[in-house]
Every structure is written in C-alpha cells, then in structure tokens.
Structure 1
Amino acid sequence: MVTEELYAKDSYIKNFSAKVTKIVPSGVILDRTAFHPRGGGLESDTGALILGGNTYRVTEVKFEGNEIVHVLEKLDGLREGDEVEGRIDWERRYRMMRLHTASHIIASIAFSKYNALITGGNITPEYAKDDFNVENKDLLPKIVEEANEIAKRGIKVKVYFLPREEAMKIPGVVKLAEKMPPELETWRIVEIEGIDIQADGGPHVSNTEEIGSIEVIKVENRGKGKKRLYYTVKP
C-alpha cells in the first residue's frame, strides 16, 4: 500500500490519525502521514505516534524504496492494523517551512538576475545552506537583501499539481543544476505569485510575511565558480 502524503497537500497539518500497515526493523509504515521524509534538501520531520497511553518517539522519517518509514525509538506493543495519532514537532517543522520558502525567493533572484543555479544545499531547523554557481560571493548578501524586501510584501504562496509535460513548459521550473524531478506523471508546483514557480515536494508557509527576517550567517568560497551561502530566519 502506498502511503498517502498528507504533507504534500497541506503543510499546516500538525496532528493526524493513521493506521499501521507494516512494521519493519527500524520503524513503521502508515497508510497516511503528515511527516515529511528527508529529501529535497530538507531534514525530515520528527514527532510522536500515540497509541492509547503509549508514546512512540519518531526520530526520523525516510524513504526506503517506495515506502515511507517512520523510525521509532521503540516498537514494543505496536501491531499492524493499530490506529495511531501522529503529532508533528511543530516549532521545528515551521522553522523549516520559513527557511524553505526563503530559499525559493533567494533561488529565484539568483536565477532571474544572474542566471545562477543551486548546485547543492540543505535545510535544518536552525539554518539553511545553498551552493550557487557564481564567481562573486559579494552577490549573495545582496540577493538576501532583495529577498527580504520581497518577503515583507506578504505574497501568497500557492501549491498545486500539474501534468509533467505541462510543468516542463514553465521557464525555470527547475532551479537545481543538473537535476530534474523524478519521472513522475504529475509534478507538485510551488508558486510565489509573481516571484517564483518551481517543482518542489517540501512544506512551505502560505504567505511570505511568515518568513520573518532572512539573515546571512556567512558566505564561503567552495572553489572556482562555487559559493556557499549560510542563512537563517528571525522573527
């Protein structure tokens, strides 16, 4: 059974009910989940599964083949068919949502103004880092400054789904160098109205004003034509 990906439809689901469909050595597979698995440069959600009076800590969520595995600290007492309540560590998730939407604004400015693509990156609850194929590292703080001005405008962030062939017609729908989304028939699209549109599978805030202030931590030279930007968000 394929797990229904609730997180792909609504990033604001904090609690949900689900059925345990399979138990594996590292954890459990559910029929539906709001936990976002690690992928797309984002760390996974953490949280808990509740069954009766028992709490099962979710330490990681990951894909194993086509299955989403919820890694648990313990499995004692869980059985296939059990109905559980899932609870997301919301503060952690929400910070990653803010950073993730900020990263899309930054990537859009880099692409539209400097034809720069992201060559790698990672988002944690504390900070994000993105590698860009640019020569001048002084460009990156300027891009962040412009991204802050855009975020303050309170622009709506929309999530919807398009057939692959239709999505491929959108200029700049993929801003990762040398990488395309999987060969899926349907792509999930994240659009910051008038600013950016990308194929993306991760959670986002619904309005750019939720991002807060984007602050540069540091910029590193990672070699010729490769600069790394570290940044975080503040209230």
Structure 2
Amino acid sequence: MKELYLTDCYLKEFDATVESVKDDKFVILDQTAFYPKSGGQPNDTGKLVSEDGTEFPVIFVGKFGGDISHEVSNPGLKTGDKVKGIIDWDIRYRFMQYHTACHILSAIIHNETGAMITGNQLGEDKTRVDFNLEDFDREQIASYESKVNEIIDRNIPVSIDIMPREEAFSIPSVVKLKDAFPPEIEEIRIISIPDVDVQACGGTHIANTGDIPHISIIKAENKGKNNRRVYFKFADE
C-alpha cells in the first residue's frame, strides 16, 4: 500500500482501488491519504465514494500488520471497486498545525532543560507534551509560550525528507531514536524546521510555521517522578 500522506500532507482527495474488504466494513486500498491513528496523532476521517456516487463514511483508520485499514460505516464495497477518498480537511489541517507546534514546543523544552520528550497526544481542542524532567519550574514553562510564538512568527518553511537510514542517523537529534527503528527499516522520514528542530516523524505537518496560530500554555502537571506534562491550545480560541 502506498501511503500518500508521507510525501504530501496537503492531499485532500485521491483515487484508489479496493484491495480487500473484511466483515463488510474494514477496507484496504492500494493507496491512501488517510492518516492512521499512531504516534499521538488521531486518525483522519472522511469518506470513500464509489464510481456510482455511493458514499462510505470513514470513521476509523488504523495500521495493522503493515496494512492501513479504513473502517466504513456503510456496507457494500467490494474488492476491485474504484473509489475516491476524501479527507475531512478541517480536522486534518488542525492536526497538522498542532503537530508542528508540538515539535516546536518539544524542541524548546529539550534545548532549555535537556529533558527527553516521552510522549504527546494531539487533540482538536488542545494538545499535550510529556517529558522527563526532575525539577518542575512553572515560571520557566510559562516562558516557552512566547518562544514558540516567536518561532511561529518567523514564517519558517517546514520540510519533509525521506533519507537513507545511515544518513538520517548522522543527524544528532535523530540518532538518539536509533533503537526505535528496526534494522529492516531502510529509509527514515525527517521533519525539518531550520534552526529549530530536525526529527524523525511519520505524522502530518504544516508547510510553514506562519500557518500555525499562536499557542497558549493552559496547564502544567506533575505526573510523578521525573514525569511532567504540559497542555497547550491555540490562543485565538
């Protein structure tokens, strides 16, 4: 299966052929722009439209055993059917904005404190970043907000590159993730925000930091020993 979102995050519609259907609702296509739930980013929703115009709403997308499965709420699709996939763009775009903002905030936290980012979860209304830090300075965390917004205002282009494994692991910010990639993975997808962050990532991202609304840090939590969590949302909401 060709994962179209890996190279073009802005693809809203695509044509595909149904390769298999299980239980009349789990559909595998030969290619897809639907992002499957993974890496803290929720799955895309939308619809598949058959050649006769019948619509099959896509309510969940997941990756299982290397295949991306689209769960549809209406039965009727068959192997060999030609369909047009249409992404719920407003929701996808919001996740793209939040995901790139998450990379910026995570880079600032790491650069300021040396903390390792241990997780994140994107949402439609807010997003969280988890990091490993012993001392919890709420004033320092509050200062991250203005630093993220300053980077947003610099209108920095965000690039996506697929690199050979060894080339990717020559990048200092990526090599620490080496153990997360099994040896059979020969190419690594790299998200670059020049002078801010270079990171291996499979998610969808905005093309320019200037397309992200200013953020507002709304909560900072102590989740236990060396486990800290920060929530942020877009400031204009």
TM-score, normalising length from structure 2?
0.92
Distance 1:181 1:211 in 2: 30
Note the alpha carbon deviations across 1:15-45, whole angstroms, 9 max, x for none: 1111001112241000110001011110100
1:181–1:100 Cα change, 3 Å: farther
Question: How much has 1:179 moved relative to structure 2?
Answer: 6.4
Secondary structure of the residue aligned to 1:118 is: strand
Note the alpha carbon deviations across 1:117-154, whole angstroms, 9 max, x for none: 11122112222111111221413222222111111100
Distance 2:196 2:146 in 1: 15
Distance 1:125 1:72 in 2: 22
Question: How much has 1:181 moved relative to structure 2?
Answer: 3.6
Distance 1:132 1:201 in 2: 20
Tell me if structure 1 keeps the 8 A contact 2:168–2:175: no
Matched, 1:221 2:222: yes
User: Deviation above 4 Å: which 4+ runs of structure 1?
Assistant: none
TM-score, normalising length from structure 1?
0.93
What is the match of residue 36 of structure 2? 37
What is the match of residue 81 of structure 1? 80
1:179–1:47 Cα change, 3 Å: farther
1:207–1:164 Cα change, 3 Å: same
Note the alpha carbon deviations across 1:201-225, whole angstroms, 9 max, x for none: 1100000011111111211110122
Tell me if structure 2 keeps the 8 A contact 1:111–1:175: no
Question: How much has 1:85 moved relative to structure 2?
Answer: 0.6
Letter in 2 for 1:225: N
What is the match of residue 206 of structure 1? 207
Tell me if structure 2 keeps the 8 A contact 1:61–1:71: yes
Matched, 1:160 2:161: yes
1:232–1:181 Cα change, 3 Å: farther
**Which shows bigger deviation, 45-54 or 90-99?**
45-54
How many residue pairs match? The answer is: 231
1:234–1:71 Cα change, 3 Å: farther
Distance 2:6 2:21 in 1: 23
Letter in 1 for 2:113: Y
- Runs of 5+ consecutive residues of structure 2 not aligned to the other structure: none
Cα RMSD (Å): 1.6
Matched, 1:99 2:98: yes
Of 9, 19, 22, the residue aligned with 1:21 is 19
What is the match of residue 170 of structure 2? 169
Letter in 2 for 1:5: E
Tell me if structure 1 keeps the 8 A contact 2:105–2:148: yes
Distance 2:89 2:176 in 1: 28
1:27–1:234 Cα change, 3 Å: farther
**Percent identity (aligned):** 41
Distance 2:49 2:39 in 1: 28
Question: How much has 1:174 moved relative to structure 2?
Answer: 6.2
Distance 2:234 2:81 in 1: 39
1:96–1:167 Cα change, 3 Å: same
- Runs of 5+ consecutive residues of structure 1 not aligned to the other structure: none
What is the match of residue 141 of structure 2? 140
